[in-house]
Amino acid sequence: MRKSAAVVGSSLFLALAPGTVAVLLPWWLTGWRTGDWWPPLRLLGLVPLVVGAAVLLSAFARFAAEGLGTPAPVAPTERLVVGGLYRYVRNPMYVAVVATIAGQALVFARPVLFGYGGCAGLLMWAFARWYEEPDLARRFGADYDRYRAAVPGWWPRWRPWDPGTTSY
């Protein structure tokens, strides 16, 4: 896939999938109406909200630039994406979506979003575990096995993984 097509495809998928999960559904659940929580706690929610959104945008850009594809199963990457934030955690997009939802729960003081974020996270974990991981193992073989052994799926490493090393 050409890089320009990968950028367009990734952008469309970003609007469709994470846009629905992290924006449309939280809005549907809350109407962006706010509760009455301690203001510093609500402000604290901006941290996971903003960081999660930034991580999500960065990860999508990396799929187009490094992988020459999209996160969408219908237009997957040509290369295994292991750079940038993927050197710390295998699923930064999913972690970012859950962080964004948790941030919204705090900012809007809406506990329902914590429950929704937990359910969304569980569904993303199941999709990654039973679809993505077997698909990546089939497509990228030993390279993916080595990456998977070195980089945790859901809790980031302290130091970035160096693909040039054999140690994990």
Is residue 161 in some structural domain? no
pLDDT on residue 143: 96
Is residue 137 in some structural domain? yes
Distance CA 70, CA 77 (A): 6
Is residue 164 in some structural domain? no
Is residue 47 in some structural domain? yes
User: Quick one: which of 32, 51, 57 has its CA closest to 100?
Assistant: 51
Report whether 14 contacts 70 (CB < 8 A). Answer: no
Report whether 19 contacts 100 (CB < 8 A). Answer: no
Tens digit of pLDDT for each residue in 32-76?
Answer: 899 998 999 999 999 999 999 999 999 999 988 998 888 888 889
The tokens of 19 are what? Answer: 């846009």
Is residue 88 in some structural domain? yes
Name residue, tokens 């960065």.
Answer: 58
Residue 28 scores a pLDDT above 90: yes
Tens digit of pLDDT for each residue in 77-95?
Answer: 999 999 999 999 999 999 9
Structural domain containing residue 57: 3-150
Question: At 27, phi and psi to the nearest 5?
Answer: -65, -45
Report whether 94 contacts 123 (CB < 8 A). Answer: no
Distance (Å) of CA 65 to CA 80, 123, 136, 153: 11, 27, 18, 21
Is residue 166 in some structural domain? no
For residue 130, the domain's CATH number is: 1.20.120.1630
- Percent of the chain at pLDDT > 90 equals 76
Per the structure, the count of domains in the chain is 1
Is residue 156 in some structural domain? no
Is residue 158 in some structural domain? no
pLDDT on residue 166: 60
